[in-house]
Amino acid sequence: MLYKVVRILPKPVRNLLSKLGVGKLMGLFYNKYTAELNFQKGWAKEFPKHDEKVLEYWRKYRYLDNINQICNINDESKVLDVGCGISSVLHYVKGSKRVGVDPLADDYLKVYNYPEGIEVKKGFGEDLEFNNELFDVVFCSNVLDHTTNPQKNINEIWRVLKPGGYFVLTLELFDEKKRRDVAHPHAITRKDVIDLTGDDFSCLFQRESPWIGVGAYVNGATTSYNKELIAIFKKDQ
Protein backbone atom coordinates (compact mmCIF):
# COMPACT_ATOMS: atom_id res chain seq x y z
CA MET A 1 0.00 0.00 0.00
CA LEU A 2 2.79 2.45 0.86
CA TYR A 3 4.40 1.84 -2.53
CA LYS A 4 1.11 2.52 -4.37
CA VAL A 5 0.57 5.77 -2.49
CA VAL A 6 4.08 7.06 -3.19
CA ARG A 7 3.96 5.97 -6.84
CA ILE A 8 1.07 8.30 -7.73
CA LEU A 9 2.60 11.39 -6.12
CA PRO A 10 4.12 14.08 -8.39
CA LYS A 11 7.80 13.47 -9.14
CA PRO A 12 9.08 16.51 -7.17
CA VAL A 13 7.25 15.20 -4.12
CA ARG A 14 8.68 11.71 -4.63
CA ASN A 15 12.17 13.20 -4.95
CA LEU A 16 11.69 15.06 -1.67
CA LEU A 17 10.45 11.91 0.08
CA SER A 18 13.47 10.06 -1.24
CA LYS A 19 15.79 12.67 0.29
CA LEU A 20 13.93 12.26 3.58
CA GLY A 21 14.64 8.54 3.57
CA VAL A 22 11.22 7.18 2.60
CA GLY A 23 12.95 4.86 0.11
CA LYS A 24 14.61 3.02 3.00
CA LEU A 25 11.29 2.60 4.75
CA MET A 26 9.67 1.27 1.60
CA GLY A 27 12.52 -1.19 1.24
CA LEU A 28 11.31 -2.90 4.41
CA PHE A 29 8.07 -3.83 2.66
CA TYR A 30 9.02 -4.63 -0.93
CA ASN A 31 11.98 -5.39 -3.17
CA LYS A 32 12.72 -4.03 -6.63
CA TYR A 33 10.86 -6.87 -8.33
CA THR A 34 7.59 -6.49 -6.41
CA ALA A 35 7.76 -2.73 -6.97
CA GLU A 36 8.14 -3.16 -10.71
CA LEU A 37 5.49 -5.86 -10.89
CA ASN A 38 2.98 -3.64 -9.08
CA PHE A 39 3.52 -0.92 -11.66
CA GLN A 40 3.49 -3.23 -14.69
CA LYS A 41 0.26 -4.97 -13.68
CA GLY A 42 -1.54 -1.65 -13.74
CA TRP A 43 0.26 -0.56 -16.91
CA ALA A 44 -0.83 -3.77 -18.69
CA LYS A 45 -4.39 -2.43 -18.56
CA GLU A 46 -3.50 1.12 -19.57
CA PHE A 47 -0.92 0.58 -22.31
CA PRO A 48 -3.33 -0.88 -24.93
CA LYS A 49 -5.45 2.28 -24.59
CA HIS A 50 -2.45 4.52 -25.17
CA ASP A 51 -0.15 2.62 -27.54
CA GLU A 52 -0.16 5.46 -30.09
CA LYS A 53 0.70 7.95 -27.35
CA VAL A 54 3.58 5.73 -26.25
CA LEU A 55 4.84 5.65 -29.85
CA GLU A 56 4.60 9.45 -29.88
CA TYR A 57 6.75 9.54 -26.74
CA TRP A 58 9.35 7.26 -28.31
CA ARG A 59 9.54 9.42 -31.42
CA LYS A 60 9.53 12.80 -29.65
CA TYR A 61 11.66 12.14 -26.58
CA ARG A 62 13.57 8.94 -27.37
CA TYR A 63 14.42 9.69 -31.01
CA LEU A 64 12.99 6.49 -32.45
CA ASP A 65 13.18 7.77 -36.02
CA ASN A 66 16.90 8.47 -35.60
CA ILE A 67 17.37 5.05 -34.01
CA ASN A 68 15.66 3.28 -36.91
CA GLN A 69 17.74 5.15 -39.44
CA ILE A 70 21.14 4.84 -37.74
CA CYS A 71 20.66 1.19 -36.76
CA ASN A 72 19.03 0.32 -40.11
CA ILE A 73 16.28 -1.67 -38.37
CA ASN A 74 14.40 -3.56 -41.07
CA ASP A 75 12.33 -6.68 -41.70
CA GLU A 76 15.42 -8.90 -41.46
CA SER A 77 16.83 -7.42 -38.25
CA LYS A 78 17.24 -9.49 -35.10
CA VAL A 79 16.34 -7.23 -32.18
CA LEU A 80 16.62 -7.81 -28.43
CA ASP A 81 15.10 -5.68 -25.66
CA VAL A 82 16.78 -6.26 -22.28
CA GLY A 83 14.39 -5.54 -19.40
CA CYS A 84 11.51 -5.23 -21.85
CA GLY A 85 8.58 -4.67 -19.49
CA ILE A 86 5.05 -4.52 -20.91
CA SER A 87 5.28 -1.65 -23.42
CA SER A 88 8.53 -2.75 -25.03
CA VAL A 89 9.94 -0.80 -27.96
CA LEU A 90 9.57 -4.10 -29.82
CA HIS A 91 5.98 -3.01 -30.49
CA TYR A 92 7.33 -0.22 -32.70
CA VAL A 93 10.27 -1.68 -34.62
CA LYS A 94 10.59 -4.17 -37.45
CA GLY A 95 12.52 -7.42 -37.31
CA SER A 96 12.55 -11.07 -38.31
CA LYS A 97 13.30 -11.88 -34.67
CA ARG A 98 12.07 -9.62 -31.87
CA VAL A 99 12.83 -10.90 -28.38
CA GLY A 100 12.27 -9.35 -24.96
CA VAL A 101 13.99 -10.53 -21.79
CA ASP A 102 12.82 -9.58 -18.30
CA PRO A 103 13.09 -11.15 -14.82
CA LEU A 104 9.30 -10.77 -14.52
CA ALA A 105 8.39 -12.08 -17.98
CA ASP A 106 6.35 -15.02 -16.66
CA ASP A 107 4.19 -12.61 -14.66
CA TYR A 108 3.79 -10.23 -17.59
CA LEU A 109 2.58 -13.05 -19.83
CA LYS A 110 -0.24 -13.69 -17.36
CA VAL A 111 -1.60 -10.15 -17.59
CA TYR A 112 -0.70 -9.01 -21.12
CA ASN A 113 -0.86 -10.55 -24.60
CA TYR A 114 2.13 -9.44 -26.63
CA PRO A 115 1.50 -9.04 -30.37
CA GLU A 116 2.40 -11.86 -32.73
CA GLY A 117 6.05 -11.75 -33.64
CA ILE A 118 7.27 -10.64 -30.22
CA GLU A 119 8.77 -13.36 -28.04
CA VAL A 120 9.18 -12.58 -24.34
CA LYS A 121 11.08 -14.82 -21.96
CA LYS A 122 12.29 -14.74 -18.38
CA GLY A 123 15.91 -13.78 -17.98
CA PHE A 124 18.43 -11.38 -16.49
CA GLY A 125 20.65 -8.90 -18.27
CA GLU A 126 23.64 -10.15 -16.32
CA ASP A 127 23.28 -13.63 -17.87
CA LEU A 128 21.60 -13.56 -21.28
CA GLU A 129 20.80 -17.06 -22.51
CA PHE A 130 21.65 -16.44 -26.17
CA ASN A 131 24.51 -17.44 -28.42
CA ASN A 132 27.34 -15.03 -29.11
CA GLU A 133 26.90 -12.48 -31.89
CA LEU A 134 23.21 -13.22 -32.51
CA PHE A 135 21.50 -9.81 -32.60
CA ASP A 136 21.76 -6.81 -34.89
CA VAL A 137 20.32 -4.37 -32.35
CA VAL A 138 19.93 -4.49 -28.56
CA PHE A 139 17.78 -2.02 -26.62
CA CYS A 140 18.13 -1.35 -22.90
CA SER A 141 15.55 1.27 -21.94
CA ASN A 142 15.17 2.61 -18.39
CA VAL A 143 16.69 -0.59 -17.03
CA LEU A 144 20.36 -0.19 -16.17
CA ASP A 145 19.77 1.69 -12.91
CA HIS A 146 17.45 -1.13 -11.75
CA THR A 147 20.00 -3.89 -12.23
CA THR A 148 22.24 -5.62 -9.72
CA ASN A 149 25.37 -5.19 -11.82
CA PRO A 150 25.26 -2.66 -14.69
CA GLN A 151 28.69 -3.64 -16.03
CA LYS A 152 27.71 -7.29 -16.39
CA ASN A 153 24.63 -6.17 -18.33
CA ILE A 154 26.76 -4.16 -20.73
CA ASN A 155 29.24 -7.03 -21.11
CA GLU A 156 26.44 -9.45 -21.98
CA ILE A 157 24.91 -7.02 -24.47
CA TRP A 158 28.30 -6.74 -26.18
CA ARG A 159 28.58 -10.54 -26.28
CA VAL A 160 25.23 -11.19 -27.97
CA LEU A 161 25.62 -8.36 -30.50
CA LYS A 162 26.99 -9.11 -33.94
CA PRO A 163 30.21 -7.31 -34.87
CA GLY A 164 29.09 -3.89 -36.06
CA GLY A 165 25.77 -4.30 -34.22
CA TYR A 166 24.02 -1.47 -32.37
CA PHE A 167 23.29 -0.92 -28.70
CA VAL A 168 20.54 1.61 -27.89
CA LEU A 169 20.70 2.83 -24.29
CA THR A 170 18.14 4.99 -22.51
CA LEU A 171 18.53 5.90 -18.86
CA GLU A 172 17.83 8.56 -16.27
CA LEU A 173 20.96 10.69 -16.10
CA PHE A 174 22.41 12.19 -12.92
CA ASP A 175 25.02 14.91 -12.44
CA GLU A 176 26.48 13.16 -9.39
CA LYS A 177 26.19 10.01 -7.34
CA LYS A 178 23.26 9.89 -4.92
CA ARG A 179 21.38 7.42 -2.79
CA ARG A 180 18.09 6.43 -4.37
CA ASP A 181 15.78 3.55 -3.38
CA VAL A 182 15.49 -0.23 -3.45
CA ALA A 183 14.02 -0.24 -6.96
CA HIS A 184 16.79 2.04 -8.28
CA PRO A 185 20.09 1.06 -6.64
CA HIS A 186 22.18 3.16 -9.06
CA ALA A 187 22.38 6.85 -9.97
CA ILE A 188 24.25 6.77 -13.28
CA THR A 189 26.27 9.75 -14.48
CA ARG A 190 27.59 10.55 -17.96
CA LYS A 191 31.05 9.47 -16.79
CA ASP A 192 29.58 6.14 -15.71
CA VAL A 193 28.18 5.63 -19.20
CA ILE A 194 31.63 6.24 -20.69
CA ASP A 195 33.25 3.88 -18.20
CA LEU A 196 30.62 1.16 -18.70
CA THR A 197 30.83 1.11 -22.48
CA GLY A 198 34.63 1.47 -22.45
CA ASP A 199 36.61 0.75 -25.59
CA ASP A 200 34.24 -1.94 -26.85
CA PHE A 201 31.69 0.46 -28.31
CA SER A 202 31.79 3.61 -30.41
CA CYS A 203 29.16 6.22 -29.60
CA LEU A 204 27.31 7.37 -32.73
CA PHE A 205 24.48 9.42 -31.24
CA GLN A 206 23.65 11.15 -27.94
CA ARG A 207 20.72 13.32 -26.94
CA GLU A 208 19.13 14.44 -23.68
CA SER A 209 15.40 14.73 -23.07
CA PRO A 210 13.20 15.58 -20.09
CA TRP A 211 12.82 12.46 -17.94
CA ILE A 212 9.02 12.44 -18.09
CA GLY A 213 8.32 8.73 -18.15
CA VAL A 214 5.92 6.98 -20.50
CA GLY A 215 3.21 6.50 -17.87
CA ALA A 216 3.30 10.14 -16.87
CA TYR A 217 3.33 11.30 -20.51
CA VAL A 218 0.16 9.45 -21.47
CA ASN A 219 -1.50 11.13 -18.50
CA GLY A 220 -0.60 14.59 -19.73
CA ALA A 221 2.83 15.38 -18.25
CA THR A 222 5.20 17.27 -20.56
CA THR A 223 7.98 18.50 -18.27
CA SER A 224 10.34 17.09 -15.68
CA TYR A 225 13.08 18.29 -13.36
CA ASN A 226 15.18 15.28 -14.31
CA LYS A 227 16.74 14.29 -17.63
CA GLU A 228 17.31 11.13 -19.61
CA LEU A 229 20.10 10.16 -21.95
CA ILE A 230 19.42 8.46 -25.28
CA ALA A 231 22.56 7.03 -26.86
CA ILE A 232 23.38 4.73 -29.76
CA PHE A 233 26.58 2.71 -29.63
CA LYS A 234 28.14 0.52 -32.27
CA LYS A 235 30.02 -2.64 -31.37
CA ASP A 236 33.53 -2.34 -32.70
CA GLN A 237 34.38 -5.06 -35.20
Reported pTM: 0.86
Give the residue-averaged pLDDT of 143-154. 94
Would you call 200 exposed, middle or buried from its count of C-beta atoms within 10 A (0-12, 13-18, 19+)?
middle
pLDDT, tens digit (0-9, with 9 covering 90-100), for 14-25:
455 445 544 444
Amino acid at position 216, single letter: A
- Tens of pLDDT, residues 53-99: 999 999 999 999 999 999 999 999 999 999 999 999 999 999 999 99
Q: What per-residue confidence (pLDDT) applies to 15?
A: 53
The per-residue DSSP string of 101-145 comes to EETTHHHHHHH--PPTTEEEEE-BTTB--S-TT-EEEEEEES-GG
Round the average pLDDT of the chain to a whole number and report it.
88
Residue 39: per-residue pLDDT: 85
Q: Is the predicted pLDDT of residue 228 greater than 60, yes or no?
A: yes
Residue 35 CB coordination number (10 Å) = 21
| Phi and psi torsions of 230, nearest 5° | -120, 120
User: Homologous superfamily of 31-235 in CATH?
Assistant: Vaccinia Virus protein VP39 (3.40.50.150)
Which backbone phi and psi does 32 adopt, to 5 degrees? -65, -25
